[in-house]
Amino acid sequence: MNTPVPGADTVYIDPLRQERSRKKARRDAAIGIASLLGFVIVIVLLVGRSSGWEAVQKTFFDGDQFVESFPGLLQAFWLNVRIFLIAEPLILIVGLLVALARTVKSPIFLPVRVLATLYVDIFRGVPTILIIFLLGFGMPALQLPGVPSDAIFWGTAALVLSYGAYVAEVFRAGIGSVHPSQTMAARSLGLSSFQTNRFVVLPQAVRNVTPPLLNDFISLQKDTALVAVLGPIEILRRAQIDTSSNFNYTPYVGAALIFIALTIPMTRFADWIQVRSARKRQAGGVS
Amino acid sequence: MSFEFKSESEPESFIRVDGVWKSFDTHPVLRGISLDVAAHSATVLIGASGSGKSTLLRCINALETVDAGSIVVDSELDVTAFNADLDAIRRRIGIVFQSYNLFPHMKVLENITLGPTRVLKRSKKESIEAAMQLLTRFGLEAKAHDYPDRLSGGQSQRVAIVRALAMEPEIMLFDEITSALDPMLVGEVLDTVRELREGGLTIVMATHEMSFAKEIADQVCFLRDGVVWESGSAEQIFEAPQRAETQSFLHRVN
Q: Which of A251, A271, A274, A253 is nearest to A263 (CA)?
A: A271
Which pLDDT score, from 0 to 100, does residue B2 have? 42
Q: Which of B63, B101, B105 sits opposite A203 (nearest CB)?
A: B105
Q: What's the DSSP call for residue A226?
A: G
Burial class of A198 by CB neighbour count within 10 A (0 to 12, 13 to 18, 19+): middle
Local structure of B85: helix, strand or coil: coil
Q: Are B22 and B183 in contact (CB under 8 A)?
A: no
Residue B3 reports pLDDT greater than 60: no
Flag whether A149 is in a domain.
yes
Q: Are B148 and B156 in contact (CB under 8 A)?
A: yes
What distance in Å separates the CA atoms of residue A157 and residue A171, rounded to the nearest whole number?
20
Flag whether A107 is in a domain.
yes
Q: Which of B144, B142, B162 is nearest to B106 (CA)?
A: B144
**Which of B101, B117, B152, B155 to mutate against chain A (most A CBs within 10 Å)?**
B101
- ipTM, 2 dp: 0.86
Flag whether A48 is in a domain.
no
Flag whether A54 is in a domain.
no
**What band does B67 get if pLDDT is binned at 50, 70 and 90?**
very high
Number of structural domains, chain A? 1
Can you list the positions of beta strands (E) in chain A? none
What distance in Å separates the CA atoms of residue A80 and residue A262, rounded to the nearest whole number?
11
| Residues of B with Cβ-Cβ distance to A187 under 8 angstroms | 63, 86, 90
For residue A112, report the phi and psi dihedrals to the nearest 5 degrees.
-60, -45
Which long-range contacts link B70-76 to residues 24+ away (Cβ below 8 Å)? B70/B16, B70/B17, B70/B18, B70/B19, B70/B20, B71/B15, B71/B16, B71/B17, B71/B18, B71/B20, B72/B15, B72/B16, B72/B18, B73/B14, B73/B15, B73/B16, B73/B171, B74/B14, B74/B170, B75/B12, B75/B16
CATH classification at residue B20:
3.40.50.300
DSSP labels, B149-161: GGS-HHHHHHHHH
Q: CA B208 from chain center: how many Å?
A: 14
CA distance B237 to chain A (A): 31
Flag whether A28 is in a domain.
no
Residue B165 reports pLDDT greater than 60: yes
* Contact flag B118-A191 (C-beta cutoff 8 Å): yes
Bridge partners of B219? B43
Q: Which of A185, A189, A287 sits opposite B119 (nearest CB)?
A: A189
pTM of the shown model: 0.80
Q: Which of B161, B31, B22 is nearest to B101 (CA)?
A: B161
Tell me the residue range of the domain where A164 lies.
79-234
What distance in Å separates the CA atoms of residue B103 and residue A215, rounded to the nearest whole number?
27
Which pLDDT score, from 0 to 100, does residue B86 have? 83
Flag whether B25 is in a domain.
yes
Which pLDDT score, from 0 to 100, does residue A287 have? 38
Q: Which of B87, B101, B103 sits opposite A190 (nearest CB)?
A: B87
Flag whether A178 is in a domain.
yes
Type of residue at A118: L
| Residues of B with Cβ-Cβ distance to A195 under 8 angstroms | 118-119
A3 touches chain B (CB under 8 A): no
pLDDT, one tens digit per residue, over A222-258 is 999 998 888 888 888 898 898 888 888 999 999 999 9
Q: What is the mean pLDDT of residues B114-129?
A: 93
Q: State the average pLDDT for chain A.
A: 88
Flag whether B182 is in a domain.
no
Q: What is the mean pLDDT of residues B147-174?
A: 92
CATH classification at residue A156:
1.10.3720.10
H and E: helices and strands count for chain A: 11, 0
* Contact flag A190-B115 (C-beta cutoff 8 Å): yes
* Contact flag B97-A195 (C-beta cutoff 8 Å): no
Tell me the residue range of the domain where B28 lies.
2-92+202-253
Residues of B with CB under 8 A from a CB of A: 61, 63, 86-87, 90-91, 94-95, 97, 99-105, 114-115, 118-120, 148-149, 153, 156, 163-164, 167, 180
Flag whether B195 is in a domain.
no
- Taking 70 as the pLDDT cut, the residues of chain A under it are 1-2, 278-287
CA distances from B91 to A191, B80, B94, B115, B116 (A): 10, 16, 7, 9, 10
Q: Which of A131, A176, A180, A139 is nearest to A158 (CA)?
A: A131
pLDDT, one tens digit per residue, over B45-63 is 999 988 899 999 999 999 9
* Contact flag B105-A285 (C-beta cutoff 8 Å): no
* Contact flag A286-B99 (C-beta cutoff 8 Å): yes
Q: Are A92 and A167 in contact (CB under 8 A)?
A: yes
Residue B7 reports pLDDT greater than 80: no
Q: Are A183 and A201 in contact (CB under 8 A)?
A: yes
Burial class of B48 by CB neighbour count within 10 A (0 to 12, 13 to 18, 19+): middle
Flag whether B137 is in a domain.
no
Q: What's the DSSP call for residue B205?
A: E
* Contact flag B97-A184 (C-beta cutoff 8 Å): yes
Number of structural domains, chain B? 1
Flag whether A173 is in a domain.
yes
**What band does B11 get if pLDDT is binned at 50, 70 and 90?**
low
What distance in Å separates the CA atoms of residue A88 and residue A75, rounded to the nearest whole number?
21
Which pLDDT score, from 0 to 100, does residue A281 have? 55
Q: Which of B55, B47, B64 is nearest to B248 (CA)?
A: B47
Q: State the average pLDDT for chain B.
A: 89
